[in-house]
Amino acid sequence: MATNRGYVKIYRKIRDSAVWHDPLKLRLWEIMLMKANHSKDYSFQSGMRKQIQRGELMTGRFSLAREYNEGLSKRYQRSSDTIWRWVNEFKKSGMIRVRSYSEYSVVTITNWNKYQVDEDE
């Protein structure tokens, strides 16, 4: 699973995207980038081992909202419905793909390998 180690690349090209012009959505996008796996890994959900690929994160509307709101004043906090609406906007714009299950969703960052690949790879 994603950890607090390492880094993700943010390309200057992001300034040309719609997410750049909305700092609240940009925060969500950056959280998703930081939560995404940097290599193939496994996660446990409902007692079952699930394989999570590079550029994927296992999440849900409530856990994503909790992480989004962490440390923010009430003024900037957003509901889980709003967060998930933004996730669907990212999906419609082609930034991500989402596979939803009854207890969680797997979000795939569409161009992960294009932008997050190490120069040595």
| Owner of token pair 């609240």 | 24
Pairwise CA distance, residues 21 & 65, whole Å: 20
Are the C-beta atoms of 32 and 56 separated by less than 8 Å?
A: no
To the question of domain 13-116 being in CATH 4.10.490.10, the answer is no
- Is 24 in a helix, a strand, or coil? helix
Domain ranges, ordered by start, for the chain:
13-116
Which band of pLDDT confidence, cut at 50, 70 and 90, is reported for residue 115? confident
pLDDT, average across residues 90-97: 96
Q: How high is the pLDDT of residue 50?
A: 78
Q: Percent of the chain beyond pLDDT 90?
A: 62
* 55-72: pLDDT as tens digits: 999 999 999 999 999 999
Q: End-to-end distance of the chain based on CA atoms, in angstroms? A: 21
Which band of pLDDT confidence, cut at 50, 70 and 90, is reported for residue 1? very low
The amino acid sitting at 5 is R
> Between 3 and 113, where is the model more confident?
113
